[in-house]
Amino acid sequence: MSTKTKKQEYVAKHNEDEAPKEMTGSGMLIQALAKENVEVIFGYPGGAILPTYDEIYKTGIRHILARHEQGAIHAAEGYARVAGKPGVCVVTSGPGATNVVTGIADAMIDSLPLVVITGQVAKSVIGTDAFQEADMLGITMPITKHNFQVRSVEEFPRIIKEAFHIATTGRPGPVLIDLPKDVSQESGLFDYSKEVNLPGYQPTVIPNKQQIRKLAEAVSKARKPVILAGAGILHAKASEQLFEYVEQQQIPVVNTLLGLGNFPGNHELHLGMAGMHGTYAANMALHEADLLINIGARFDDRLTGKLDYFAPYATVAHIDVDPAEIGKNIETQIPVVGDAGEALRLLIAENGEQADHAVWKADLQKMKSDYPLWYKQEDEVIKPQHLIEKIYEKTKGEAIVTTDVGQHQMWSAQFYKFDKPNRWVTSGGLGTMGFGFPAAIGAQIAEPQSTVVSIVGDAGFQMTLQELSILQELNLPVKVVIVNNASLGMVRQWQQLFHGERYSNSLFPIQPDFVKLADAYSIKAMRVDELKDMESAIDEMLAHDGPVLMDFRVAKEENVYPMICPGKGHHQMEGVTP
Ligand SMILES: Cc1ncc(C[n+]2csc(CCOP(=O)(O)OP(=O)(O)O)c2C)c(N)n1
């Protein structure tokens, strides 16, 4: 029997520099985060995760203390979306962990790479209803790309490495690591040198050449092709390839809500956002197309409208790195499994013969100019669409815009034209109120030099406004724009249109004084009631080099149009003209 310890054996085989060091589980976590180039952690401490917080203290790794775990995880999502790197969130067990569940579900459906570390009670008491015990593996099984519970300190480095690998490869998503307190305190050898070895997880990145050729052939024959450009293009960092391909083939482009910015919003071939509150031209392009090329979109119900009416004349091609998406909602004739960037590179190289799309393009251009997005300007009242249009103009389209969920989100998607990728941060799939403001904090941390405007509703903002503390503490220059219609605007709109104007629990008879609220956090704030003050107020907000909160009192009964009402198809939009 060898008398050497594991470490001595290892050192005998490798030189001292590479030798794994003995350290605690929580020490390993911080070491591993450094090796993964993690610059910032968003989190909140508590009993089960205290050993990790001790390491955070000792090593000085940057940590942003949220005031509620939901704020921490949405900030991590905003960071991930803008930085193009995984967001890291650390919380304690039980209530700390359950408080991040909404954010995990949000990241899952919007394909955001997160590594979430939840403290857990000690192994010996798991399953005994111990203090602050919650079964996070069970709770998050359906809403994580993968989850782990660390059962011994020896396996911890491998688990962390796999977590980052899984979160960031293929279709990105959240990975949870549940860390029992005793494991974080035990000592073991930290060896981070081994390559990830997951035979059961091998995402297909390079698409099948035959399928690409089939698609190129279909393009060369199509008279009415359209590209539906989704967020998969952003995750694949493939906006340049999309641009090149569109220029080469002269195919019109429509965006999903989450895909905005992956193609220049001001390009003549861009028809706008499609779906429930999309433009007439974008939806009619989908309706009339003979070839629909979906690149990295989910064909979700807010995009498709009633499936029976969806793209009735089109051959459907779908490029997606997640094979489970293909054919899930829409029958697909040309499936292409692979990374959007790789697929586009191959399509560009095919340089397929270009069919004559002149009539199709001209028809769509006419629809675009005949049926633009509209709103009725009034004398004194601030129209929310006008407000967003002015913010767009005054930020020259270069701000990072985060939104919450509701009417203001749709107006932002419609009236802020994104020309560049990763400037648009919104909760698309889950539609999480409370997302927008903390996401702006994460975005500002990812890009300290950029102007970050957080456009929120007066209701959604109240779900996570405690994070104003972070703005105060770090003097983060986020500009919070409350589009204040004194109601749950989107709910009010649906009650007006589909529930006989019975406004059940959607109107706010009283509201907090948001200016005084900001004052409590020593944050500059302004309330703007009248149109005549709107522009100068936006100027003042943008000129201030610290955080600002703006309470814009807008028209209370404005609705989002145009609209595909429930049960209707793209060709049945309402409110297309004033
Ligand atoms: C957490 C959560 N609860 C409820 C909803 C349902 N919901 C969608 S939009 C909306 C109203 C949002 O009101 P506000 O934040 O003021 O934005 P507005 O629509 O007025 O722009 C509600 C309640 C949701 N999306 N998320």
Residue 195 has pLDDT above 70, yes or no: yes
Tell me: the pLDDT tens digits for 301-314?
A: 999 999 999 999 99
pLDDT score at 379: 81
| Ligand 1 pocket check for 489: Cβ under 6 Å | yes
What's the rounded Cα separation, in Å, for the pair 522 and 293? 50
Separation of CA 491 and ligand 1 centre (Å): 7
Residue 461 annotated in active site: no
Burial track 160-177 (b if 16+ CB lie within 10 A, e otherwise): bbbbbbbbbbbbbbbbbb
Distance of CA 62 to the CA centre of its chain: 23
- Count Cβ atoms below 10 Å from residue 450 Cβ, excluding itself: 16
Confidence of residue 1 (pLDDT cuts 50, 70, 90): very low
Residue 132 annotated in active site: yes
| Ligand 1 pocket check for 431: Cβ under 6 Å | yes
Cβ-proximal residues to 419 (8 Å cutoff; 6+ apart), any chain: 261, 264, 265, 266, 397
Tell me: the pLDDT tens digits for 43-96?
A: 999 999 999 999 999 999 999 999 999 999 999 999 999 999 999 999 999 999
Distance of CA 145 to the CA centre of its chain: 15
Residue 461 has pLDDT above 60, yes or no: yes
Residue 181 annotated in active site: yes
Residue 5 has pLDDT above 80, yes or no: no
- Rg of the chain on CA atoms, in Å: 25
What's the rounded Cα separation, in Å, for the pair 115 and 73? 10
| Ligand 1 pocket check for 490: Cβ under 6 Å | yes
Tell me: the pLDDT tens digits for 225-260?
A: 999 999 999 999 999 999 999 999 999 999 999 999
What's the rounded Cα separation, in Å, for the pair 460 and 433? 5
Atom of ligand 1 nearest to the CA of 102: 1
Separation of CA 337 and ligand 1 centre (Å): 35
Rounded to the nearest integer, the mean pLDDT of the chain is 96
Q: Which ranges of 1-100 does DSSP label H, i.e. alpha helix?
A: 6-13, 25-35, 50-59, 69-83, 95-98
